[in-house]
Amino acid sequence: MGDERDGFDRRLREARAKQGLDKPAGTAGGGLPTGPWGIGFRAGVEVVSALVVGIVIGLMLDRWLGTWPWLFLLFFVAGSAAGILNVYRLFSPRRVRPK
Amino acid sequence: MAAEGKAIDALSQFELVPVLGAVGRSVGFSQANAHMLLAVGLITGLMIWGMSRRAVVPGRLQALAETAYEFVHELVVGQVGDEGKRFFPFVFSLFMFILLGNLLGLLPYAFTFTSHIAVTFALAALVIVVVTIVALAIHGTHFFSYFFPEGAPKLLAPLIIPIEIISYLSRPVSLSVRLFANMVAGHVMLKVFATFVVMIGSAAGVLGLIGAVLPLAVNVALVGFELLVAFLQAYVFAILTSIYLHDAVHLH
Question: Is residue B222 domain-resident?
Answer: yes
* Mean pLDDT across A3-24: 68
Domain assignment of residue B117, given as a range: 12-250
pLDDT at A95 over 70: no
Write down the pLDDT at residue A22.
Answer: 57
Q: Do A50 and B166 touch (CB under 8 A)?
A: yes
* Mean pLDDT across B112-131: 93
CA distance A54 to chain B (A): 6
Question: Is residue B6 domain-resident?
Answer: no
- Tens of pLDDT, residue by residue over A41-69, are 888 889 999 999 999 999 999 999 988 88
* Mean pLDDT across B206-212: 81
Write down the pLDDT at residue A21.
Answer: 61
Q: Which of B75, B173, B239 sits opposite A52 (nearest CB)?
A: B173
Q: Does A81 contact B at CB distance below 8 Å?
A: yes
- The least confident of A31-40, B160-169, B198-207 is A31-40
Closest residue on chain B to A40 (Cα): B178
Q: Which of A42, A48, A85 sits opposite B167 (nearest CB)?
A: A85
Structural domains in chain B (count) = 1
Name which of A13, A21, A23, A45 to mutate to probe chain B: the one with the most chain B Cβ atoms within 10 A of its Cβ.
A45
Q: Which of B162, B163, B243 sits opposite A30 (nearest CB)?
A: B243
Q: Does A60 contact B at CB distance below 8 Å?
A: no
Q: Do B78 and A48 touch (CB under 8 A)?
A: no
Question: Is residue B4 domain-resident?
Answer: no
Q: Which of B162, B173, B232 sits opposite A33 (nearest CB)?
A: B232
Question: Is residue B3 domain-resident?
Answer: no
- Tens of pLDDT, residue by residue over B72-110, are 999 999 888 888 888 999 999 999 999 999 999 999 888
Q: Does A82 contact B at CB distance below 8 Å?
A: yes
Question: Is residue B1 domain-resident?
Answer: no
| Whether the complex's predicted ipTM surpasses the cut of 0.85 | no
Collect all residues of chain B within an 8 Å Cβ-Cβ radius of residue A28: 78
* Mean pLDDT across A78-97: 81
* Mean pLDDT across B230-242: 91
Global pTM reads: 0.82
Question: Is residue B33 domain-resident?
Answer: yes
Q: Which of B79, B163, B173 sits opposite A81 (nearest CB)?
A: B163
* Closest to B127 in 3D by CA, of B252, B239, B250, B251: B239
CA distance A33 to chain B (A): 8
Question: Is residue B2 domain-resident?
Answer: no
